[in-house]
Amino acid sequence: KLYSLGYLVIFFTISRLVSIIGKPSITNEVLSHLDIATRLSVNISDATIATSTDFGKLVQEIPAAVLYPSSIHDIVKLINYSNNGAISAPFGVAARGHGHSVRGQAMSPNGVVVVMSSLNNNNNNNNGKIGVFWESSLGFYYADVGGEQLRIDVLHATLEHGLAPVSWTDYLYLSVGGTLSNAGISGQTFKYGPQISNVLEMDVITRKGELVTCSKRTNSELFFAVLGSLGQFGIIIRARIVLEKAPTRVRVVRVLYSDFSKFTRDQEKLISINDGMDYVEGSLMMNQSPPNNWRSSFFSTSNQSKILSLISKYGIIYCLEMVKYYDDQTANTVDKELQKMMRGLNFVFGHIFKKDTAFVHFLNRVRSGELMLQSKGMWDVPHPWLNLFVPKSSIMDFNVGVFLDIILRQNKSTGPILVYPTTRKRWDDRMSVVIPEEDTFYCVGLLHSSRFNDWEVLDGQNEEIINCCEKAGLNVKQYLPHYKTKEAWMNHFGKKWKIFQQRKSQFDPKMILSPGQKIFI
């Protein structure tokens, strides 16, 4: 309680200071005369305070106002006001999906934050509903979903038709627009590509205040620019997503390794099997990152003690997680198929753990951990996360330099650490997202929670990891990137920087969109 009280005091002192020092580039006076004024919350209010922070709780930036759009026309008007300069100098406009960024990416310091979920609450537009359709000429199903909608709602709506999207994130309380602005990755990515690779068409509000429909064939420049763009080129209002027949159940298998090279070799083998596993991930287990955590309560109490004794023997254990989907038609063959795919895997003898669960529970597996942490007041704490893409050729050095030399030795980490491979062939290079050059690369997630006001210590460790990778020339790329200087952003984009800059001058020359990413400051 004392900690949360202390946190609140610091929070409001900082809010006050920011509000005194910060000089809005659009004034409340001007905003209060706009014809969308009734949907704007101005001054220091619950709305501006709420949107001045995010899941990360590391950054606070107060907007001049918050827009609760009742329809897309409100957003169009706001963008026009900012862009045409008639009422003030251009001001920042940030779409806020579900505010689950960790570094202020959906904030708009001294500008306007658009609370996208407000579209969902107002049924006077089509975006409040999820439509499921059959494309007869091409022979597949798709869903039209609002950019503001949460992945969990997309799942429930499509399951009503016995269908589901194919590419997921581990956690489903994230918006479609927010995930498409990054990539949307999980253990299915090796098979189907990230979520940005599974979009057929989008409606995007451009800086000109126009609603433009784009796809690979129509307005393709905008289409590819927006996917993985960190919100820089337009506001996603609708996305058309590929669907497939949904399985009903899944077999989950976890096996443990003490040897990192055997672990990665087996992961790579599994993702190379044609029509093989439906999901492959992996994680680290150490004293500070135990078998069960908020992301997963997979292991029974007796299995946990078995695993803990393995951890105390080796210091660090690598857990490979694989999943095969099935339904009534394939229930008799799923085990045989699994056995075949797992033949020759080199895990520690006897350390194999299995579970069978409903498809929907598997996809929504993180929710129960979230609710448990929420009930203990441990969800809304600072999250200094670091997500990296590591090329296959660097992953062994990454294990030694980062997992063993920094994380294990320093013993500071508090939270799940993920590591799993994926393949470049499912990512279209025309999209704005940046990934390593190699065909196979690893997704690494250091998902720290700071419960004891120690987030700066954990963030210091993140810096050390990045420096270590740079020094060793490991060519890692940040996912959900965050940099403090333009040079660092240029370095991140590498040969894509030129096109990213061109796209910015084409689609948002006044640099009003998603200023919280701090790319063009």
Name the residues annotated as catalytic: 100, 170, 281
CB of 488 to ligand FAD, least distance (A): 17
Taking CA 478 as the corner, what is the angle to CA 475 and CA 479, rounded to the nearest 5 degrees?
135
DSSP 8-state assignment for residue 401:
I
Contacts of residue 310, defined as CB under 8 A and 6 or more positions apart, other chains included, come to: 256, 258, 317, 348, 351
Contacts of residue 346, defined as CB under 8 A and 6 or more positions apart, other chains included, come to: 257, 259, 262, 265, 266
CB of 378 to ligand FAD, least distance (A): 13
Rank residues 231 and 382 by Cβ distance to ligand FAD and give the closer one.
231
Please, which of residues 441-480 interact with ligand FAD by CB under 6 A? 480
Whole-Å CA distances, 4 to 55, 66, 307, 414, 453: 16, 26, 34, 19, 10
Task: Kindly state whether residue 170 participates in binding ligand FAD, applying the rule CB under 6 A.
Answer: yes
With CB under 6 A as the contact rule, the residue among 231, 282, 382, 436 that binds ligand FAD is 231
Task: Kindly state whether residue 423 participates in binding ligand FAD, applying the rule CB under 6 A.
Answer: no
CB of 321 to ligand FAD, least distance (A): 13
Residue 99 backbone phi and psi in degrees, to 5: 60, 30
Token pair in block for residue 437? 């050059």
Q: How far apart are CA 368 and CA 361, in angstroms?
A: 10
Task: Kindly state whether residue 298 participates in binding ligand FAD, applying the rule CB under 6 A.
Answer: no
**Residues near ligand FAD (CB under 6 A), total:** 36
Rank residues 158 and 167 by Cβ distance to ligand FAD and give the closer one.
167
57's torsion region: left (phi>0), alpha (psi -120 to 50) or beta? left
With CB under 6 A as the contact rule, the residue among 68, 91, 171, 325 that binds ligand FAD is 171
With CB under 6 A as the contact rule, the residue among 66, 95, 225, 469 that binds ligand FAD is 95
Whole-Å CA distances, 18 to 48, 52, 254, 447, 513: 12, 10, 48, 28, 21
Q: How far apart are CA 169 and CA 364, in angstroms?
A: 10
CB of 475 to ligand FAD, least distance (A): 21
- Provide the mask over 112-151, with x wherever binding to ligand FAD is found by CB under 6 A and - wherever it is not: ----x------------------------------x----
Task: Kindly state whether residue 55 participates in binding ligand FAD, applying the rule CB under 6 A.
Answer: yes
Task: Kindly state whether residue 236 participates in binding ligand FAD, applying the rule CB under 6 A.
Answer: yes
With CB under 6 A as the contact rule, the residue among 53, 175, 206, 413 that binds ligand FAD is 175
- Provide the mask over 178-217, with x wherever binding to ligand FAD is found by CB under 6 A and - wherever it is not: xx-xxxxxx-------------------------------
Q: How far apart are CA 473 and CA 129, in angstroms?
A: 48
